[in-house]
Amino acid sequence: MVERFNGRISDVLATRRYESGEDLEQTLKRYCWLYNHHIPQKALDHQPPISAMKDRQTKRPELFQKRVINHAGPDNYCN
């Protein structure tokens, strides 16, 4: 999964030129959000990662210290 994700990031980066570091950063943040919320993953029963996490939390809440939410936390850059 990591290699596929990195390959997709590489494809995204190759599709255009970036005017600044901020432009590149925004593109990466948008792609991470898209990946986590809208791109189904075969390994997750064809669900996007955030949906799979929410389902898992519903079924096994004791495994989670915090509730799964739809925005970035202090140490999570790609959400």
Distance CA 16, CA 12 (A): 8
Domain boundaries in the chain? 2-63
Q: Which of 75, 38, 45, 43 is nearest to 66 (CA)?
A: 75
User: What single-letter DSSP state applies at residue 18?
Assistant: -
pTM of the entire predicted model: 0.72
List all residues 6 or more positions away from 3 whose beta carbon is below 8 Å from its beta carbon: none
Average pLDDT per block of 10 residues along the chain, 79 residues long = 86 92 93 92 93 93 82 50
R_g over Cα of the chain: 14
H/E stretch holding 58: helix 49-59
